[in-house]
Amino acid sequence: MNNGKVRIYELSKELNLDNKDIKDLCEKLNIAVKSHSSTITESQAERVRTAATKYVPEKTVNESVAHEGDERAKDKLKQQILAIHHKQNLPYSASQSSRKESNSVLAEPPKLLAKPQAKSSNPPTSLSSSNPTQSQLKQPPKPTLETNSPAESVEKTVVERPTAAKPKLVSPPSRPQLVKAPARDAQKQASSKPVAPEEEIASPELKVATPEKTVNKAKAKIKSQPSLPKLQRPQPPKPVDEIKEEVAVTAVDEEVAEETEEFDLDSGVKKEKKLKLKRPDLPRKGKTADWEEEEEEESLDSAKAGKAKTANKAKRRPKPLVDDDDDDFDTELDSSLISTAVSLATARPARPKSLEKQPVAATANKVKKPTQKTEKAAKVDKRDRAVVTGPPESVVLSHNLTVRELADLLNTPETDIIKSLFFKGIAVNITQSLELETARAVAEELGVKVETPEIKSAAAKETEMLDAADLDNLQTRPPVVTIMGHVDHGKTTLLDSIRQSKVAQGEAGGITQHIGAYHVDIEHNGNQQQIVFLDTPGHEAFTAMRARGTRVTDIAILVVAADDGVQPQTREAISHAKAAEVPIIVAINKIDKPESNPERIKQELTELGLVAEDWGGDTIMVPVSALKGENLDNLLEMILLVAEIEELSANPDRLAKGTVIESNLDRARGPVATLLVQNGTLRVGDNIVAGSVFGKIRAMVGDRGNKVEAATPSFAVEVLGLNDVPEAGDEFDVYPTEKEARVVAEARAEQQRDSRLQQAMSSRRITLSSLSAQAQEGELKELNLILKADVHGSVEAILGSLQQLPQNEVQLRILLAAPGEVTETDVDLAAASGAVIIGFNTTLASGSRQAADREGVDIRQYNIIYKLLDDIQGAMEGLLDPEEVEEPLGQAQVRAVFPVGRGTVAGCYVQSGKMVRNAQMRVRRGNAVIYTGVMDSLKRVKEDAKEVNAGYECGIGSSKFNDWQEGDIIEAYEMVFKRRTLSVN
């Protein structure tokens, strides 16, 4: 209804008659109408309604509907015919014209294809069921909803599987899930949104190939499945204002119309209004002006439809939805309708991946080249949507994704993302994969909050080392044990004691610096058994390494000093072991000390969930003295006992695989790595790939410096022959042939290079851009560093610690961090970038010292991490601008005021400190400061004085202040510059 005017087609629906019938009636009643979209007055409409009660429509039943053989409601058929007529008309004629126009015959079928889907997805049951009006209303104005619609359309299509009986080709797909989630919430609600499985999305492609077949299939399916149209009812309405706005901008015309129709169908309310949004589906002759423009477009579109119906649609899309009943939008119904449109617009990403799987794309494949028009139209479409919707508030990023996927996720045109990356110095194309960090940077730049799924503890065992094939040939293997615990609780001493050697004595600063692996032979139950110990460092900076140690370990020994109790790293060790689901044995150490209190330790551990066996729990706790070697046998017994329970096994008769425990570049021997064999047997001559490093094992060295020919499961060996230094923590595999191994290594190296480059570029650019504002304000300082250390583990640990330093005012830039000697190249880099070189436990290659002297490069060498960190922090503080602070000098009281010339002088008594000529002074009267300025003159008796100390009288004057009063207090002070320390805020 519309300003007292009624359109013919509205009336036809209202009266459940064909437009033609209404036109006939009008003719009989002498009411002039041109077409179904013509309007008549309400009174004329009333006459038509009256006449219609007696009117018997001359209807011919369309064959295609007749096929359906649904004789249940003949009057319904009328509507169905109408619907089918419309539905098929458009695509058919479009494809016809396309055939005539071009050879791209395949361009059209997708629409047919899309239709059956759309149909099937929508609630057609209602069409064939009891409500004729509904069936009529269900006819979609255009079948091309999917053609240029992105993912959601596809999803929707798939989700809403064919359910109904007949008019499947007609019904537009409904989008209940889209309606639910207005744009910004779309991402958040992703989980609740039905997602079409890939294969289902792909199904349209298959159908494209054989449209008729598909249609038949769809029909068959539809017939066999009674449907539930009600389930697809549009969801909660959106605020009207918002709706209006979005509709006006996006003009999601046809989709809106279709949605509207569906809503009408289901709700049975306000159908006229919605129908107005709908494109009329009858042949258009003598249309009213309202329709002419669109009609014209449509004919044009039809003429080119063979290329892409989507193009037509997209072309029309920007056109605002102008209808004479705009003012009707404030109805509840229309709100719902628009909310559908909004969801479509917002939930639809710019160009979803799934778009490729849609009919059009599928067709494009066949036609070789998709029509430019389609693409262009799709772009226009995207732009429109982007304008309207914008990115969501937050997204969840869990893995690398392509530019296109990111664009989808962020609801942002791909071009914007490409542009953003370009400005970060990263040139990408739409299909290029982006690192998680890069994607995060882009998202954050768009103001989108990025959430990452909880990061799995580094300690978690990630890879199963056993394959199914190994199960037939499993043999017991020694347990791999990690000793963990707080600094100085006696880990190294314990291991040392067990090994009967003095490992602890050789350590710099008394701290274990990197993982070592040691084998211990023990007699157990009359058999010689072995335990492999991984010695992990205790300093908290080595958390990452400790986590890694846990990842390869079978049993964790938690050392707790009985005289110290549970400490932060004790807790941390427990959480690592728990994350890796590794059984824990507690060694309560230092029981030889008089102040030791094992029971207190048990109590503290109970609070952390480790309850001793003798306290009724299931955690084995063994009191030991590592220093005195007390009770160590018991501890080892317990380890073997737990190992037995764990049934540790591996298959030694296969090519080895395992984990790199440690690695470094040895000047004499080249890259060296300590490998823990976790399955199979590692042999000299094996072709190995560790991470992305290829190697042919030249030699293997055991933990006692002995040459080893083969290393069976659970054994750790140092290997030589790698062509580079692998990363500690990398897994390694042996390949049957060198060629195979090389190919794998090269592929991985390539991948890593790309990823590193991208990461480096993005982080660098991001740092620069995010810091540029501060730099402009002169607040930002940078300290460039080059870090060289003995092994990877140390590099990681130092980097981890450096990250902890506050960097809000001075930014640390690590230009290079790698294991190895400090080389001349490092010096060159430092000279070029004004960096300081930090060497940790490493030496200087020949020539680098001279180069450093020549270039004026500072090389600092350390072997204790605390010292290194202190120095770096000091250097950073040195870069801070000194702080200007007030330093009080003294206080004086005005006892008398003397006129001198034109001014006055205050006769004072210095109460504390001293008064200093030309110092700053503050004059207080009561609580108020009445003057702040410089003490221009200071006299002692009548003589000028530089300073007057406490307990003396003096005269104080200022050229700018004469208003002295008895009782005033003068505070003298000076401003001094003080070196600042780094603060967290």
Ligand X SMILES: Nc1nc2c(ncn2[C@@H]2O[C@H](COP(=O)(O)OP(=O)(O)OP(=O)(O)O)[C@@H](O)[C@H]2O)c(=O)[nH]1
Detail the residues annotated as belonging to a binding site for GTP. 485-492, 535-539, 589-592
C-beta of 569 vs 811, nearer to ligand X? 569
Work out which of 16, 492, 529, 842 binds ligand X, going by CB under 6 A.
Answer: 492
Let me know: does 835 contact 784? Beta carbons within 8 Å.
yes
Q: Does 550 bind ligand X (CB under 6 A)?
A: no
Total interface residues for ligand X by CB under 6 A: 21
Q: What's the rounded Cα separation, in Å, for the pair 107 and 153?
A: 19
Residue among 568 and 874 whose Cβ is closer to ligand X: 568
Of the pair 36, 486, the CB lying nearest ligand X is at 486
Pairing of strands 731-735, 687-690: antiparallel
3-state secondary structure of 825: helix
In terms of C-beta distances under 8 Å and separation of at least 24 residues, what long-range contacts does 802-809 make, across chains too?
802/869, 802/872, 805/869, 805/872, 805/873, 805/876, 805/982, 806/982, 806/983, 806/984, 807/876, 808/983, 808/984, 808/985, 809/779, 809/780, 809/781, 809/880, 809/982, 809/983
CB of 821 to ligand X, least distance (A): 25
Q: Rounded to the nearest whole angstrom, what is the least distance from the CB of residue 824 to ligand X in the complex?
A: 34
Least distance to ligand X, CB of residue 927, Å: 56
Stretch that binds ligand X, among 295-303, 484-492, 664-672, 944-952 (CB under 6 A): 484-492
CA atoms of 878 and 982, how far apart (whole Å)? 10
Token pair for 16: 């459940």
d(CA 159, CA 177): 9
In angstroms, what is the minimal distance from the CB of 725 to ligand X? 24
Residue 277 in contact with residue 253, Cβ under 8 Å? yes
Looking at the Cβ atoms of 461 and 593, the one nearer to ligand X is 593
Q: How far apart are CA 808 and CA 804, in angstroms?
A: 11
**Which part of the chain contacts ligand X (CB under 6 A), choosing from 353-361, 623-631, 770-778, 954-962?**
623-631
For the chain, the straight-line distance linking the first and the last C-alpha, in angstroms and rounded, comes to: 64
Outline where DSSP puts E strands in 767-916: 781-789, 810-819, 836-840, 859-862, 883-900, 903-916
Stretch that binds ligand X, among 61-69, 490-498, 638-646, 941-949 (CB under 6 A): 490-498
Q: Count Cα atoms within 13 angstroms, Cβ side, for 351.
A: 21
- Closer to ligand X at the Cβ: 357 or 548? 548
Choice between 592 and 936, CB closer to ligand X: 592
Q: What's the min distance (Å) between Cβ of 709 and ligand X?
A: 32
Q: Are 415 and 379 in contact (CB under 8 A)?
A: no
Interface residue with ligand X among 504, 697, 872, 910 (CB under 6 A) is 504
Query: For 485, phi and psi rounded to 5 degrees?
Result: 150, 175
Site membership for ligand X, residue 487 (CB under 6 A): yes
Contact region with ligand X (CB under 6 A), list: 318-326, 507-515, 688-696, 812-820: 507-515
Among the listed ranges 11-19, 197-205, 482-490, 686-694, the one in contact with ligand X (CB under 6 A) is: 482-490
3-state secondary structure of 914: strand
- Choose between 174 and 512: whose C-beta lies nearer to ligand X: 512
In the complex, the smallest distance separating the C-beta of residue 785 from ligand X, rounded to whole angstroms, is 25
Binding residues for ligand X restricted to 263-302, rule: CB under 6 A? none
Which residues belong to the annotated binding site? 485-492, 535-539, 589-592
| Helix (DSSP H) and strand (DSSP E) numbers for the chain | 34, 36
Taking CB under 6 A as the criterion, the residue among 511, 656, 690, 802 binding ligand X is 511
- Three-state SS at 172: coil
Q: Is 593 in the site for ligand X (CB under 6 A)?
A: yes
**Least distance from ligand X to the Cβ atom of residue 593, Å:** 5
Smallest separation, CB 200 to ligand X (Å): 56
Q: Sort strands 937-940 and 953-957 into parallel, antiparallel or unpaired.
A: antiparallel
Given candidates 313, 491, 546, 551, which one binds ligand X under the rule CB under 6 A?
Answer: 491
Contact between 282 and 9 (Cβ < 8 Å): yes
Minimum CB separation of residue 187 from ligand X in Å reads 45
Kindly state the smallest distance separating residue 591's Cβ from ligand X, in Å: 7
Structure tokens at 599: 């029971």
Q: Which stretch binds ligand X (CB under 6 A): 506-514, 578-586, 685-693, 876-884?
A: 506-514
**Site pattern 624..663 for ligand X (x: CB under 6 A):** -xxx------------------------------------
Report 512-541 residues binding ligand X (CB under 6 A). Answer: 512, 537-538
Specify the stretch interacting with ligand X by CB under 6 A; choose among 58-66, 166-174, 508-516, 739-747: 508-516
Considering beta carbons, is residue 381 or 563 the nearer one to ligand X?
563
Complex with ligand X: residue 90 or 626, whichever CB lies closer: 626
**Which of 64-72, 383-391, 504-512, 875-883 is the region at the interface with ligand X (rule: CB under 6 A)?**
504-512
Distance between CA 858 and CA 876 in Å, rounded? 15
Decide whether 141 or 538 has the Cβ nearer to ligand X.
538
Closest C-alpha to 226, from 139, 161, 172, 154:
161
Closest among 372, 305, 355, 374 to 105, alpha carbons compared: 305
The residues in 573-592 that bind ligand X, with binding defined as CB under 6 A, are 589-590, 592
Q: Which is nearer to ligand X, 11 or 558 (CB)?
A: 558
Is there a contact between 263 and 234 (Cβ–Cβ < 8 Å)?
yes
Q: Is 604 in the site for ligand X (CB under 6 A)?
A: no
**Cβ atoms of 317 and 388 closer than 8 Å:** no
Range in contact with ligand X (rule: CB under 6 A) among 60-68, 413-421, 485-493, 891-899: 485-493
Choose, by CB under 6 A, the member of 23, 489, 548, 602 that binds ligand X: 489
Q: Calculate Rg over the CA atoms of the chain.
A: 41
Beta strands at 781-789 and 810-819: parallel, antiparallel or unpaired: parallel
Q: Which stretch in 455-463, 620-628, 656-664, 839-847 sits in contact with ligand X by CB under 6 A?
A: 620-628
Least distance from ligand X to the Cβ atom of residue 509, Å: 8
Residues 946-975 that bind ligand X (CB under 6 A): none
Alpha-carbon distances of 6 from 38, 48, 51, 275, 471, rounded to whole Å: 8, 11, 16, 12, 79
Among 510, 609, 834, 933, binds ligand X (CB under 6 A): 510
Q: Collapse the DSSP code of 161 into the 3-class scheme (helix H, G, I; strand E, B; otherwise coil) and give the result.
A: coil
**Spatial contact of 923 and 961, defined as CB atoms under 8 Å apart:** yes
Q: Which is nearer to ligand X, 287 or 539 (CB)?
A: 539
Q: Quote the least distance from Cβ 800 to ligand X, whole Å.
A: 16
Smallest distance, ligand X to C-beta of residue 559, A:
6
For residues 837 and 840, give the distance between their C-alpha atoms in angstroms, rounded to a whole number.
10
Instruction: Write down the least CB distance from residue 549 to ligand X, Å.
Output: 12
150 lines the binding site for ligand X (CB under 6 A): no
Note whether 693 and 725 are within 8 A (CB): yes
Cα separation, 160 vs 117, in Å, equals: 8
Cβ(330)–Cβ(240) below 8 Å = yes
In angstroms, rounded to a whole number, what is the distance separating the alpha carbons of residues 805 and 811? 9
Report, in Å, the least distance between residue 495 CB and ligand X. Answer: 8
Q: Give residues in contact with ligand X (CB under 6 A).
A: 485, 487-493, 504, 510-512, 537-538, 589-590, 592-593, 625-627
